């Protein structure tokens, strides 16, 4: 999938199949003794090895799908357009460009177009979330000191 707008929510049938598969696969992962387990496709009797990290990723995908959420997989080193990056962050493209030009997220230019590494976007998003959580805790502490909020309730 190249465009974020191509991502669709899973149907109810897909959610149910994902939940069933998630339960079975996560239970199986707990019993594995190998980092490259051999998988057999029952219908074709083909066997192949799948890296444990790929199976763990599949478990995460199945869990998210079972909850009815769409999913997209982006390689970490992927460079994104400013439009795709803005969609990932949940902001407008002009706002993202301002963030880039202010030096908050590294970017490169290809001709006159800016490109942003997915890894840098994910780091920025995580940093901003941590800052918001810290600010919320500070606000709650201030409210407690003023007697406006009681965390013991």
Question: What is residue 2's predicted lDDT score, i.e. its pLDDT?
Answer: 45
pLDDT exceeds 80 at position 109: yes
Q: 62: burial class by Cβ within 10 Å (0-12, 13-18, 19+)? A: buried
DSSP result, 51-86: -HHHHHHHHHHHHHHHTT-------TT-EEEHHHHH
All structural domains of the chain: 4-66 (no CATH), 79-145 (1.10.1660)
What are the φ and ψ backbone dihedral angles of 110, each rounded to 5 degrees? -115, 100
Q: How far is CA 60 from CA 22, 56, 100, in A?
A: 8, 6, 31
What does the pLDDT look like over 39-91, one tens digit per residue? 878 888 888 888 888 888 899 999 999 999 888 777 777 899 999 999 999 99
Total-model pTM: 0.54
Mean pLDDT score of the chain, rounded to an integer? Answer: 87
- Upper half-sphere CA count for residue 114 (Cβ side, 13 Å): 19
What does the pLDDT look like over 78-93, one tens digit per residue? 899 999 999 999 999 9
């Amino acid at each position: 999938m190249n465009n974020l707008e191509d991502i669709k929510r899973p149907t109810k049938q897909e959610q149910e199949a994902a939940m069933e598969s998630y339960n079975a696969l996560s239970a199986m992962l707990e019993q594995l003794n190998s980092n490259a387990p051999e998988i057999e496709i029952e219908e074709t009797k083909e066997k192949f090895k799948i890296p444990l990290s790929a199976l763990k990723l599949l478990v995460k995908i199945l869990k998210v799908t079972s909850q009815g959420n769409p999913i997209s997989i982006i390689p970490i080193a992927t460079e994104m357009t400013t439009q795709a990056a803005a969609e990932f962050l949940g902001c407008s493209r002009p706002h993202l460009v301002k963030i880039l030009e202010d030096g908050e997220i590294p970017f490169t230019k290809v001709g006159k177009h800016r490109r942003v590494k997915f890894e840098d976007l994910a780091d920025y998003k995580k940093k901003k979330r941590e800052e918001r959580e810290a600010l919320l805790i500070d606000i709650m502490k201030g409210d407690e000191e003023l007697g406006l909020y009681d965390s013991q309730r």
